[in-house]
A = this chain, B = another copy of it.
Amino acid sequence: MATKILIADDHSMFADGIESILNRQDGIEVVGKCYDGISIMPFLKENEVDIILLDVNLPEKNGIEVCKEVIASFPDMNILAISMFNQESYVSEILKFGAKGYILKNTGQEELMQAIQTIEGGKTFFSKDVTQTIMRGLMNDRKSSSKSEGFIPKITRREKEVLKLIVQEFTTQEIGEKLFISLKTVESHRSSLLAKVNARNTAGLVRIALEKKLID
């Protein structure tokens, strides 16, 4: 029986291309395509799927959230993450939530086929580049655990509120007024934020907040 594959990617040209490649292969059947994050769960409830090729950067609801959600309902689902970016935070995040593999969009079709077969056999698969990234991540975990790029300590509820307002261009004064707290308190929160994300100033804080999606 053919392996049933669901492709989830917002770039339909990409999704169609992959579909076209896969449909030429024996033993593989593309049973569906999703162009955003929110339509995946409904599809899975109606259709049988063996493997999901999941783009990490989806609109509406990103791949990491989708992965978490899918695994919660279908713990044995085989998810192969596909991404443009070989970024440690993405890789480790989605693997943590149960993805079985991670490949980059610049990997060739032979490797794609290999990944699918490996995943279906219950094993994990990573592009060579990705493997190196993961190794580097592990090294950093062991060594310094905080200096390593990309690690962000927990941001508290209040800090997040302040951060959100900073990104929206409000001044410390204005933030205090909005949250009914003193300017000095807001300054405290700003300080901890700078320290936690390891930024030198507001510019870095905002950049990191957006890069790491620290605010909803």
Binary B-proximity of A98-124 (CB < 8 A = 1, otherwise 0): 000000111111001000000000000
The answer, yes or no, to whether A148 is at the interface (CB within 8 Å) is: no
B206 touches A207 (CB 8 A): yes
B106 touches A35 (CB 8 A): yes
The answer, yes or no, to whether A17 is at the interface (CB within 8 Å) is: yes
Give how many copies assemble into the complex: 2
The answer, yes or no, to whether A171 is at the interface (CB within 8 Å) is: yes
Q: Is the interface of A mostly helix, strand, loop or mixed?
A: helix
One of A40-48, A69-77, A153-161, A196-204 at the interface: A196-204
Bound-state CA distance A192–B116 (Å) is 51
Q: Which residues of B contact A169 (CB under 8 A)?
A: 199-201, 203-204, 207
A21 touches B17 (CB 8 A): yes
